[in-house]
């Protein structure tokens, strides 16, 4: 035996990840009880105990999605797997789909649909803007699609898309509505039943405050009816709801080995969400967003999205003139342990994306970030009024008591 291979000296060092304050576009900070849940004993994926956990995860997801949809579950995969699940199950080759693109993830919806053979029509707005109901009405009347896909919370831009009128227009045209709720779920209302959203998907690592690895999805009656009327098999075996129904449904037929401990984590994360209460959780995200906005404004940093359509949990702001994007983000990470995100697509190098999701949305993070950012800007030769950001945020918190 080769001694160099067998020697313990060649083993990698034990894991010792740094402690970060996760204020980027995801993942977000995780409550210790959620991490502890992942360390609970693993059981089999058809063990009666785990089947009970699955039932409870479904029940809690229905509450968070604000739906009674029976087919609500956690797909074994990240948020992008949730996106693919919704698209591949509702689209057959040749079906017409309208994809609303005002950021990276709207573009990804269009890409996924095209890959499964949809006749995709894209409607576009500049990054950071949202769609009007009139724009959607025009394209829906012209294309007569089977499916319309739109992003409620565009992670790449920080834009919050109003859905009420758009949902009405899509349904009056007889089309199905797919909504990307990856960043919005548990941070702002996702009213699946009230709006009649036919299919929605999210990710575990944003406002749910769970590690990445699961994608909550929900399908309404019309979506299930469309699946039952398919003429072709779903192109993905792994993401075929027709098969997953038998695992997550009453039959409990083997489909795949679910990530048991990740489902433990989601179970605990959902317990925390519902213990706090949805309305209180939405209000908390809004409170810290407004305090951060007040602080950044006092530091003369502007948002890249209009206030009326700004997401509370994902704050996209313009990088001040002459400031090195990468240098600031590196200093924040290396000196303060704070992670924020850079811009994507046409916003790359022009914006920062500051996350206040789930456990990350708290006063201590807002105030620390504002203080750290002031130091980083000073190093870049940009000197906002000393202490103005923290003072403005504190004033907002005091006034909001």
Kindly state the average pLDDT of the residues 182-210.
98
Kindly state the average pLDDT of the residues 231-252.
92
Spell out a b/e string for 388-401, using b for 16 or more CB atoms within 10 Å of the CB, else e: bbbebbbebbeeee
CA atoms within 13 A on the CB side of 378: 9
CA distance 190 to 153: 10
Residues with Cβ < 8 Å from 16, sequence gap 6 or more? Answer: none
Q: Is the pLDDT of residue 249 over 90?
A: no
Q: Is the pLDDT of residue 390 over 80?
A: yes
251 pLDDT band (50/70/90 cuts)?
A: confident
| Bridge partner residues of 97 (DSSP) | 120, 147
Average model confidence (pLDDT) for the chain?
A: 96
253 pLDDT band (50/70/90 cuts)?
A: confident
What one-character DSSP code corresponds to residue 29?
-
Tokens 């072709």 sit at which residue? 232
What pLDDT score does 2 carry? 55
CA distances from 309 to 122, 213, 264, 314, 379 (A): 21, 29, 34, 11, 32
The tens digit of pLDDT for each residue in 85-123 reads 999 999 999 999 999 999 999 999 999 999 999 999 999
CA distance 153 to 151: 6
What pLDDT score does 11 carry? 93
Kindly state the average pLDDT of the residues 245-252.
85
The tens digit of pLDDT for each residue in 260-277 reads 999 999 999 999 999 999
* 122 within 8 A of 110, measured Cβ to Cβ: yes
The percent of residues in the chain predicted with pLDDT above 70, rounded, is 98
Segment among 49-58, 188-197, 248-257, 291-300 with least mean pLDDT: 248-257
At 16, list the tokens.
């010792």
The tens digit of pLDDT for each residue in 149-160 reads 999 999 999 999
CB atoms within 10 A of CB 250: 9
Alpha helices by DSSP H, 44-120: 48-65, 79-90, 104-115
The percent of residues in the chain predicted with pLDDT above 90, rounded, is 95
Kindly state the average pLDDT of the residues 325-331.
98
Kindly state the average pLDDT of the residues 210-231.
98
Q: Is the pLDDT of residue 4 over 60?
A: no
401 pLDDT band (50/70/90 cuts)?
A: confident
Top-tier CATH class for 32-275: alpha beta
CA distance 401 to 386: 25
At 397, list the tokens.
């918190």
Kindly state the average pLDDT of the residues 59-73.
98
Highest mean pLDDT: which range of 7-11, 179-183, 250-254: 179-183
Residues with Cβ < 8 Å from 84, sequence gap 6 or more? Answer: 112, 236, 239
Q: Is the pLDDT of residue 8 over 70?
A: no
What pLDDT score does 250 carry? 78
The tens digit of pLDDT for each residue in 278-311 reads 999 999 999 999 999 999 999 999 999 999 999 9
Q: Is the pLDDT of residue 166 over 80?
A: yes
Q: Which of 292, 235, 285, 214 is nearest to 58 (CA)?
A: 214
Kindly state the average pLDDT of the residues 18-24.
97
**All CATH 3.90.1150.10 domain ranges in the chain, comma separated:** 277-399
What pLDDT score does 6 carry? 54
10 pLDDT band (50/70/90 cuts)?
A: confident
Q: Is the pLDDT of residue 321 over 60?
A: yes
What pLDDT score does 198 carry? 98
At 276, list the tokens.
């706090």
Task: Specify whether domain 277-399 bears CATH 3.90.1150.10.
Answer: yes
């Amino acid at each position: 035996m080769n001694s160099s291979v067998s020697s313990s000296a060649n083993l990698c060092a034990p894991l010792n990840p740094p402690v970060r304050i996760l204020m980027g576009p995801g993942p977000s900070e995780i409550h210790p009880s959620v991490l502890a849940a992942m360390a609970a004993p693993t059981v089999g994926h058809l063990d009666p105990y785990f089947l009970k956990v699955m039932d409870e995860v479904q029940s809690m997801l229905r509450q968070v999605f604000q739906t009674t949809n029976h087919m609500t579950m956690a797909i074994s995969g990240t948020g992008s797997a949730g996106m693919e699940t919704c698209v591949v199950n509702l689209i057959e080759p040749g079906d017409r789909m309208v994809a609303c693109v005002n950021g990276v993830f709207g573009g990804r919806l269009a890409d996924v649909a095209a890959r499964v053979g949809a006749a995709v029509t894209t409607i576009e707005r500049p990054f950071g803007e949202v769609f009007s109901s009139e724009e959607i009405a025009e394209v829906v009347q012209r294309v007569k699609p089977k499916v319309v896909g739109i992003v409620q919370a565009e992670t790449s831009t920080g834009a919050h898309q109003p859905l009420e009128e758009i949902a009405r227009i899509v349904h009056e045209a007889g089309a199905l509505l797919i909504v990307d709720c990856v960043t919005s779920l548990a941070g702002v209302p996702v009213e699946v039943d009230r709006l009649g959203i036919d299919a929605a998907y999210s990710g575990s690592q944003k406002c749910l405050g769970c590690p990445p690895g699961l994608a909550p999805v929900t399908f309404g009656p019309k979506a299930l009816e469309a699946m039952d009327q398919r003429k072709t098999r779903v192109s993905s075996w792994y993401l075929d709801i027709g098969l997953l129904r038998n695992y997550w449904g009453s039959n409990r037929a083997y489909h795949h080995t679910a990530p048991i401990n990740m489902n433990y984590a989601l179970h605990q994360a959902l317990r925390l969400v519902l213990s706090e209460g949805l309305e209180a959780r939405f209000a908390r995200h809004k409170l810290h967003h407004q305090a951060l906005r007040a602080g950044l404004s006092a530091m003369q940093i502007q948002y890249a999205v209009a206030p009326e359509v700004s997401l509370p949990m994902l704050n996209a702001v313009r990088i001040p003139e002459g400031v090195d994007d990468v240098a600031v983000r590196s200093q924040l990470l290396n000196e303060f342990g704070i992670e924020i995100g850079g811009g994507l697509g046409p916003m790359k190098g022009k914006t920062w994306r500051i996350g206040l999701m789930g456990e990350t949305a708290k006063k201590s993070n807002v105030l620390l970030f504002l203080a750290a950012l002031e130091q980083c800007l000073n190093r870049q030769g940009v000197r906002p009024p000393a202490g103005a950001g923290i003072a403005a945020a504190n004033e907002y918190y005091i006034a909001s008591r």
